[in-house]
Structure 1
Amino acid sequence: MRVRNMGYGQKVWVFPDAELPPVGVNSIPGHESIIITNTGNEDAHINITLLYTDREPVRNIPVTVEAERVRCLRTNEEKDFGAHTAAFGEQYAILLESDVPVVAQYGRAEPRTVAFYTTPGYSCD
């Protein structure tokens, strides 16, 4: 008999420092991504909101992360963000709201300084 696993994490995550970096030294392309881990045994249905400095938010970008899976969302790929892909150099924030607990982090390959880093978001429920 399988025990019901409610999963680790939180239902709300905020990443306040998002920016798709442009091409850097030696023509290395930059990228950024949101990585979401669902350790529970129910699919996570997530709504993403993008918050900008100079325009209205983009709301209700739907994402599903299957039970006991991880999903990497590249912010500049239409298969992940639809028509709301990130523009190079644009400052914005990312809000994730899930119906079940998940763990999320943000990663950026920063070619201007040839660095890669990840950071957990701020989570609150």
Structure 2
Amino acid sequence: MYQARGEKHWIIPDGFIPPTSAEGSVYESHESICVLNCSSEEALLRLTIFFEDRDPLENILAVVPGRRTKHIRTSSLSAKGASIPLGVPYAIEVLSDVPVIVQYSRLDATQAANALMSVMAHPIK
């Protein structure tokens, strides 16, 4: 049995999916929630997406099998038919039923010189 590591509650305060990518770019601008589950147990994630000027998208579910990692593109998330709009700031709350480790990555391909940013989410104890 592998021991769980991490936390059950994480916050990512800065989300923004660029609305375009540079013409002819090999890469597409995107963001991902990167989750590591060190436990033997499957992790059930419940995500909430917060916005500045509209109600949140709530109860978005994702599963990370035991002893696995999962990269969840934020552009793939939806709740009740609504998804995260491009070019709109947002924040993410991640709740898990077992401790996990959460990282956040953004690839900005809006210019010929791409930028990759990756940071640890903020754990809540």
Place the TM-score, normalised by the shorter chain, in its bin: 0.7 to 0.9
Q: Is the 8 A contact 2:105 2:116 kept in 1?
A: yes
Secondary structure at 1:76's aligned position in 2? helix
- Describe how 1:62-77 pairs up with structure 2 within 5 A: 62-77=61-76
Aligned length: 120
RMSD: 1.5
Q: Is the 8 A contact 2:57 2:78 kept in 1?
A: no
Gap regions ≥5 residues in structure 1: none
Q: 1:98 aligns with which of 96, 99, 106?
A: 96
Decide which structure has greater helix share. 1
Structure 1 residue 14 corresponds to structure 2 residue 1: no
Alpha-carbon distance, 1:27 to partner: 4.4
Which 4+ stretches in 1 moved above 6 angstroms? none
- Normalization by structure 2: what TM-score? 0.87
Q: Is the 8 A contact 2:64 2:70 kept in 1?
A: yes
AA of the residue aligned to 2:31: E
Gap regions ≥5 residues in structure 2: none
Q: Provide the C-alpha distance between the structure 2 equivalents of 1:123 and 1:48, rounded to a whole number of angstroms.
A: 14
Secondary structure at 2:4's aligned position in 1? coil
Q: Provide the C-alpha distance between the structure 2 equivalents of 1:63 and 1:84, rounded to a whole number of angstroms.
A: 16
Larger CA deviation: 22-31 vs 110-119: 22-31
Q: Is the 8 A contact 1:34 1:73 kept in 2?
A: yes
